[in-house]
Structure 1
């Protein structure tokens, strides 16, 4: 009895050994030793990790709960990590693993029409995003020899920009101004105007209020802009690490479409929040502070981002990435630290004046302080011809208007200049979310530069513009096609357009146009 029991025991041990041996032989080959670090401390948005001697700069680290972080400070005995998730559940002593890769983001056509966060998680409730391709968020900018000059315009649909401050495909045009002056509205109107123009748009909201983001999403949905738009969102209560990586991740998504030969428009709203988040992270990681407590590499933070926007040559696909970064000024101070950095990086700026905004001159673009250093090269001939002297006439009007506020008596020519300037200002006004097509803009500008609006009262300017645009239907198809392509009109075609305008404007003209126009009181509030 005892012998049989021992035999059964030996057989069972032998079976277990064979199973163990088989499992060892069929198992996957070992990948070697794995480094495991330890969390020393966790604070607002950053963690200090001990161990991981082989971790590299900007390597992605994995924390408990599937939370990721970026190795940012590589010190001799510890690593400073930027957290990308909910770090409130982490504790000192938790294990940290290396992933062996840098931060990347999903790219592809599946992202069009979706709202995501910088990690690639869907925020629109339409289900998970499946993409087979991922690209690192930090990528070197295209080489100089891979770029082409900016030669194609990017129409914004706004008369004041397309005529006076044109933007080209591949340009970086800064939008700046105080709070609540319409910066985001200009960017959103530009996105709406790309409908049907084969341009992919990427809107990146950095640390914005949920209510503001919801309003923007509703506007895009109302105008069917999601058919060609990707929206990336970080809200105010998200970790600062997400704010930091958001514009880089959005740019990578835009670069994917650019490398496919498409034209891309990307909006960063706004880089003030981005700089503040980076300052917060740098101070928490005890990096040396500089001017206004920003770290010393704050210029490199934005320059390496915006240098990725360009127009590629035909050998590299011929795509383009146009950037509209938004920056917030304080008390109209354009010479502050971050605004001057971005002015020196970008190819021009659109400055929005709170004074014009308060007067109802919308969009509140201060033409005197705004400039486009590249777009003029890409502006179509039709726009150049009708808006050539417009900026000078507007500048003369603003100077005379300021001078007249002191009660000076002006001669007849000066009064006529002010009358003409008032109509320029009235014509450059435009309602939000109503971008104008190219043909409508050119015919309005042609009417304005030829002085045909000067015999119409300011209160009737809007109705007169609507009538002029409606009159396009009476023109011959070749002339309309020429206007839509913004080509230069022949003298005969131009005269036909002006004859149509004179006929349309006849009901709006003053009763006695032979008399000198009666000027309104000159004040800061002289507008429609």
Structure 2
């Protein structure tokens, strides 16, 4: 009898723990510029919510970026044209997990992990965490092995090491994206994770067809957020690419992370910070910019499982190497390549 009751209670406990709970719901109270103010739901910073408009029978996704008194501050990941006071705000479960696996190789996805290449849905059944802490400093492997980029001038005169983090600094139109494509095509990496943050839409096809090529694309995952998309989507493109690279590193792969550009990531964070009420500092950049940059960059590198060799392009405003983002990023990275406009125009 006791065993029977114990089995019955165990069954009930499992049923309750596995039951779907009701979504937490809030209500839109105000939309000001890029910020949507909502009364509820109970959410955390970075969580994704769905905003439903019963009036238009449409929905929009938004990300929690802050709190003001009893209000939740959200920024849209899509158009805000259909949002109005009274819309329901529903928190999404598992909104910060990402698809992962070899099924992603050769695919192009957006900052939410959704395919945009017309090749059908992703077949990956595994999901990894979106946010992660950097590896323990004492568990990082020393940089002792060379990393071949496939570009003789770099490999000969300024060789890179596995797990190193390098910045390519230059103004606009000097050739950063072309150089990234050449490295992605010719490097010895087993997996390329490429993040295109805030780029022009037409450049994506050119990068895939002309710079990366079929050989490079076969071992690559491209995460894209173009310049017309909201700032949270540009932030997510960079963060998602880093999370994917971490997953392959933990699977004992030799990973190459290419990000174009870290400057536009910083600009997106500036947009979010200013909209959420942060005070502007140097050239309008808010303090949170210089907080999130090292958190993102420190997630790469080598561990006992594998390595992430990371190359970030840095768009230098006005060719000023001492502008705030270039100056800050230079201190976080392990090495620097500077492309000279005079040589490019020669």
- The alignment's TM-score, normalised by the length of structure 1, stands at 0.59
**Distance in 1 between the 2:279 and 2:93 partners?**
28
Rounded Cα–Cα distance in structure 2 between residues aligned with 1:32 and 1:261: 37
1:234 aligns with 2:225: yes
Return the offset for 1:170. 0.5
1:245 pairs with 2:231: no
Q: 1:203 to 1:163 in 2, by over 3 A?
A: same
Q: In proportion to residue count, which structure has more helix?
A: 1
Between the aligned partners of 2:315 and 2:212, the Cα distance in structure 1 is 26
Per the TM alignment, residue 56 of structure 1 is displaced from its structure 2 partner at its CA by 2.1
Higher deviation after alignment, 39-48 or 232-241: 39-48
1:357-436 pair list within 5 angstroms:
357-359=344-346
Q: Is this contact kept in 2: 1:56–1:74, CA < 8 A?
A: no
Deviations 1:175-207 (A, max 9, x none): 01011111112211111112xx35200111111
- Deviation readout 1:290-313 (Å, 9 max, x if unpaired): 221111121122111110111112
Q: Distance in 2 between matches of 1:254 and 1:122?
A: 17
Q: Pick one of 47, 50, 53 that aligns with 1:62.
A: 50
Q: Does 1:346 align with 2:333?
A: yes
Deviates further, 299-308 or 69-78: 69-78
Alpha-carbon contact 2:109-2:116 (below 8 Å) kept = yes
Q: Radius of gyration: which is bigger?
A: 1
Secondary structure of the structure 2 residue equivalent to 1:224 = helix
Q: Give the secondary structure class of the aligned counterpart of 1:141.
A: coil
Question: What residue number does 1:130 align with?
Answer: 123
Distance 1:209 1:42 in 2: 28
Structure 2 partner of 1:336: 323
Give the C-alpha shift of residue 138 in structure 1: 1.6
Cα offset for 1:112? 0.2
Q: Which moved more, 1:117-126 or 1:131-140?
A: 131-140
Q: Which residue in the other structure is 2:92 paired with?
A: 99
Q: CA deviation at 1:35?
A: 3.3
Name the SS of the counterpart of 2:146 in structure 1: coil
Mapped partners of 1:135, 1:335: distance in 2: 37
**CA shift at 1:88, angstroms?**
2.1
Q: Structure 1 residues 32, 324: closer, same or farther in 2, change over 3 A?
A: closer
Is 1:189 paired with 2:221? no
Match of 2:81 in 1: 88
Q: Distance in 2 between matches of 1:122 and 1:66?
A: 19
* Residues 58, 102 of structure 1: 8 Å contact kept: no
Which residue does 1:324 correspond to in 2?
A: 311
Q: Partner of 1:88: helix, strand, or coil?
A: coil
CA distance in 2, matches of 1:166, 1:308: 22
RCO greater where, 1 or 2, for CA within 8 Å and sep 6 or more?
Answer: 2
- How many angstroms apart in 2 are the aligned matches of 1:77 and 1:284? 17
Residues 110 and 224 of structure 2 are in contact (CA less than 8 Å); yes or no, is this contact kept in structure 1?
A: yes
1:303 matched to 2:291? The reply is: no
Distance apart, 1:61 and its partner CA: 1.8
Following the alignment from structure 1 to structure 2, what is the Cα–Cα distance between the partners of residues 255 and 83? Answer: 27
**Alpha-carbon shift at residue 34 of structure 1 (Å):** 5.1
Q: Compute the RMSD of aligned alpha carbons.
A: 1.9
Asked whether the 8 Å contact 1:59–1:70 carries over to 2, the reply is yes
How many residues of Structure 1 are paired with residues of Structure 2 in the alignment?
Answer: 325
Distance (whole Å) between structure 2 residues aligned to residue 202 and residue 256 of structure 1 = 11
Using a 3 Å threshold, how does the CA distance of structure 1 residues 220 and 106 change in structure 2: closer, same or farther?
A: farther
Alignment gaps of 5+ in structure 1? 1-27, 360-528
Identify which of 248, 270, 273 aligns with 1:279. Answer: 270
Q: CA deviation at 1:32?
A: 6.3
Question: Residues 441-491 of structure 1, C-alpha deviation per residue, up to 9 Å, x if partnerless?
Answer: xxxxxxxxxxxxxxxxxxxxxxxxxxxxxxxxxxxxxxxxxxxxxxxxxxx
Secondary structure class of the residue paired with 2:165: coil
Note the 1:47-58 alignment, pairs <5 A. 47-52=36-41, 54-58=42-46
Q: Distance in 2 between matches of 1:108 and 1:147?
A: 24
CA distance in 2, matches of 1:79, 1:339: 33
Distance 2:24 2:212 in 1: 47
Q: TM-score normalized by structure 2? A: 0.88
Check the 8 A contact 2:49/2:92 in 1, yes or no.
Answer: yes
Q: What's the counterpart of residue 29 of structure 2? A: 40
Aligned residue in 2 for 1:290: 281
Residue in 2 that maps onto 1:23: none
> Is the 2:254–2:308 contact (alpha carbons within 8 Å) kept by the matching residues of 1?
yes
Q: For 2:63 and 2:213, how far apart are their aligned partners in 1?
A: 38
Q: Is the contact made by 2:186 and 2:216 (CA closer than 8 Å) also made in structure 1?
A: no
Secondary structure (helix, strand or coil) at the match of 1:186 reads: helix
Distance 2:132 2:122 in 1: 23
Instruction: Say whether the 8 Å CA contact 2:184–2:212 is kept in structure 1.
Output: no
State the shift of 1:85 in Å. 2.4
